[in-house]
Amino acid sequence: MENILFKDLKISKEILKAIEKMGFEETTPIQSQSITTILEGKDVIGQAPTGTGKTCAYGIPIIENIDIHNENIQALILCPTRELVIQIAEELSTVAQYKHLIKILPIYGGQQIERQIMSLKKRPQIVVATPGRMMDHLRRKTAKIGELKIVVLDEADEMLNMGFREDIDIILETVPQQKQMVLFSATMPKEIIAIANKYQKDAVTVKVTHKELTIPSIDQYYVEVKGRNKADVLTRFIDQYQYKLCLIFCNTKKMVDELTSILMTRGYLAEALHGDMRQMQRDKVMSRFRKGTIEFLVATDVAARGIDVEDIEAVFNYDVPSDEEYYVHRIGRTGRANKKGISYTFATPRDMFALREIMRYTKAVIHPIKAPTFSDTQDTKVKSHLANVKEILENDDITRYVGYIEKMLMENEENDITTLDIAAAFLKLTIGDKSNNSVSFQNEENEKATAQFGMLRLFINIGRMDKMDKGKIIELIAANTSIRGSEIGTIDIFDKFSFIELPSEKVDDAIISLNKVKVHNRKVNIEIANKKK
């Protein structure tokens, strides 16, 4: 069964609105096979590893079928670890964000059981739990599952490996016989088959099949990076290796738009490509990308289908793809026509398990690599400019410019300025290094901890509550001042305010220009942070 668009599924407008807000366009293979079947009330046994979109595969039907007027526990999702419980509960809450009367509760060991008992008294309809902690509540009679409509075993093989078989049996024997049961597992050992045969009725089997990766001409790397640092790491790779034609993949339309905005405000020639764009717009973007008018195409998997551009130097997986086959399709955009290709995947700590699954199922070796440091990228810029200088010295007539240097030397004779000093000053000016310190480049560890030399820290009265993120703040500054995105330093965003580092010589421009601006009908106030009154 092929993947389908979410809007073509028979789901409510509230859930569709939430999915669109999350930025998803198309179902993953496991979702396209499971959602309709589970919506129809059938039992399902599914073989699918982590990272294939299982949570929405069962979460969408569960939320769709919840009776908001019934305050009993109607759905129970069992999974092996605390981290997975929290992750599933968060994702389900996002899917249910426009169904305001649905309550979802995570239950796991390590959290005070008294707090969970209080939360259970608030009558959640959906409970996500580890088997051990769910057993505790059943023994205490603090969780009642007599009205349960559906039970889900997620990562069933992992639960068995962790010794939860007995707990699972007790829980499944406690729930009503007339209930729907969904079981997902990456592998199907005999114990899993035994559970399915014992507790399921006429279960529909769904399975994600994998294609092996057979593209030896592509060097594959991954970078472990925190989500908030991805944009900085991306631009460092681009600057370090001087890439001119790249594809950057994001999992959602929202992230495509945000990243494109960040790249553009930092001075990179980037454009977006996703399903919300009309076909005419997409064709124009692709035409500019093929011609090299834009250098960086930021796209979703759906929109990027059919892209066949021979000279793509690198593919960046800004997000780890939601399906192993998507990974194959993405990196296959580089290394065309017998040319060497390269791909980079940005993985947060939470993504590492999914990345291992990609390597396992694609038989690919994805090598770890460290991101270039600030000093690395500056060194690359210097070498590039020195190469240009050498070419000019070898091929161009520079006689007329020698006179300017001689004049400057004569005017500054008393200051002992040399031609070497002047050359170094020109190099600093050319690469845009605005630091005033005697050391050329900062230590990497100090980059984020301290303000850059030659930069001032400013307070601005807008933050997360104003729906601002780093990209939007950069866009605000770039649109209303002469400050380029690449000149903006560290941005720290809080709920009601933010701190921004700007070049000291641009501070007056920022204060004068931005204090005239309104964001969501609220007047912006920007001033030097911690200044003496």
What percentage of the chain reaches a pLDDT higher than 90? 38
Phi-psi region of 170 (alpha: psi -120 to 50; beta: other; left: phi over 0): alpha
Q: What is the CATH number of the domain that holds 490?
A: 3.30.70.330
Q: Which of 110-119, 208-217, 241-250 has the lowest mean pLDDT?
A: 208-217
Phi-psi region of 454 (alpha: psi -120 to 50; beta: other; left: phi over 0): left
Residue 438 confidence (pLDDT): 35
* 429-449 confidence digits (pLDDT tens): 766 554 444 333 333 333 333
Q: Which residue from 48, 61, 58, 54 is spatially nearest to 157, judged by alpha carbons?
A: 48
Phi-psi region of 503 (alpha: psi -120 to 50; beta: other; left: phi over 0): beta
Statement to judge: residues 188 and 236 lie in one domain: no
Statement to judge: residues 385 and 397 lie in one domain: yes
CA distance 521 to 88: 36
Picking from 410, 431, 452, the residue at the C-terminal end of a domain is 431
Residue 159 domain-assigned?
yes
Residue 212 domain-assigned?
no
CA distance 476 to 466: 13
CB 524 within 8 A of CB 514: yes
> What Å distances lie between residue 148 and 444, 451, 531, CA to CA?
54, 55, 60
Statement to judge: residues 266 and 331 lie in one domain: yes
The phi, psi pair for 528, rounded to 5°, reads -65, 130
Domain with 380, as residue range(s), is 375-431
Residue 457 domain-assigned?
yes
Statement to judge: residues 182 and 84 lie in one domain: yes
* 63-88 confidence digits (pLDDT tens): 999 999 998 999 999 998 887 898 89
CA distance 43 to 287: 47
Residue 131 domain-assigned?
yes
Residue 385 has pLDDT above 80, yes or no: no
- Choose between 184 and 456: higher pLDDT: 184
| CB within 8 Å of 279: residues ≥ 6 apart | none
| DSSP string covering 247-277 | EEE-SSHHHHHHHHHHHHHTT--EEEE-TTS
CB 337 within 8 A of CB 217: no
* 3-21 confidence digits (pLDDT tens): 788 888 889 999 999 998 8
Statement to judge: residues 368 and 379 lie in one domain: no
- Choose between 530 and 256: higher pLDDT: 256
Statement to judge: residues 293 and 380 lie in one domain: no
CB 472 within 8 A of CB 488: no
Q: Is 347 helix (H, G, I), strand (E, B) or coil?
A: strand
Residue 54 domain-assigned?
yes
Statement to judge: residues 329 and 345 lie in one domain: yes
Statement to judge: residues 12 and 108 lie in one domain: yes
Q: Which residue from 182, 187, 179 is spatially nearest to 205, judged by alpha carbons?
A: 182
Burial of 495: CB neighbours in 10 Å, binned 0-12, 13-18, 19+: exposed
Average pLDDT over residues 43-62: 86
Residue 246 domain-assigned?
yes
- The tally of domains found in the chain comes to 4
Q: Which two tokens stand for residue 324?
A: 């192993």
Residue 2 has pLDDT above 70, yes or no: no
Q: Which two tokens stand for residue 464?
A: 């997360």
CB 442 within 8 A of CB 478: no
Q: Which of 77-81, 324-328, 476-480 has the lowest mean pLDDT?
A: 324-328
* 444-472 confidence digits (pLDDT tens): 333 333 334 467 888 899 988 888 888 88
Residue 201 confidence (pLDDT): 92
| Residue 310 binned pLDDT confidence (cut-offs 50, 70, 90) | confident
What percentage of the chain reaches a pLDDT higher than 70? 89
Residue 213 has pLDDT above 50, yes or no: no
Picking from 207, 232, 256, the residue at the C-terminal end of a domain is 207
Side-chain half-sphere CA neighbours of 243 within 13 A = 28
Q: What is the CATH number of the domain that holds 14?
A: 3.40.50.300
Statement to judge: residues 286 and 367 lie in one domain: yes
Q: What is the dihedral of CA 245, 247, 253, 259, to 10 degrees?
A: -60
Residue 492 has pLDDT above 80, yes or no: yes
Residue 438 domain-assigned?
no
Any idea what DSSP says for residue 504? G
Which is it for the CA torsion 361, 362, 368, 370, positive or negative?
negative
Report the chain's mean pLDDT, rounded to a whole number. Answer: 84
Statement to judge: residues 328 and 350 lie in one domain: yes
Phi-psi region of 41 (alpha: psi -120 to 50; beta: other; left: phi over 0): left
Residue 213 domain-assigned?
no
Statement to judge: residues 244 and 340 lie in one domain: yes
**Residues in a beta bridge with 297:** 247, 271
The secondary structure element, H or E, covering residue 444 is helix 444-449
CB 486 within 8 A of CB 267: yes
What is the number of residues in the chain?
533
Statement to judge: residues 199 and 268 lie in one domain: no
Q: Which residue from 512, 500, 425 is spatially nearest to 455, judged by alpha carbons?
A: 500
Q: Is 395 helix (H, G, I), strand (E, B) or coil?
A: helix
Any idea what DSSP says for residue 212? P
Picking from 207, 231, 263, the residue at the C-terminal end of a domain is 207
Neighbours of 90 (CB within 10 A): 13
| Residue 330 binned pLDDT confidence (cut-offs 50, 70, 90) | confident
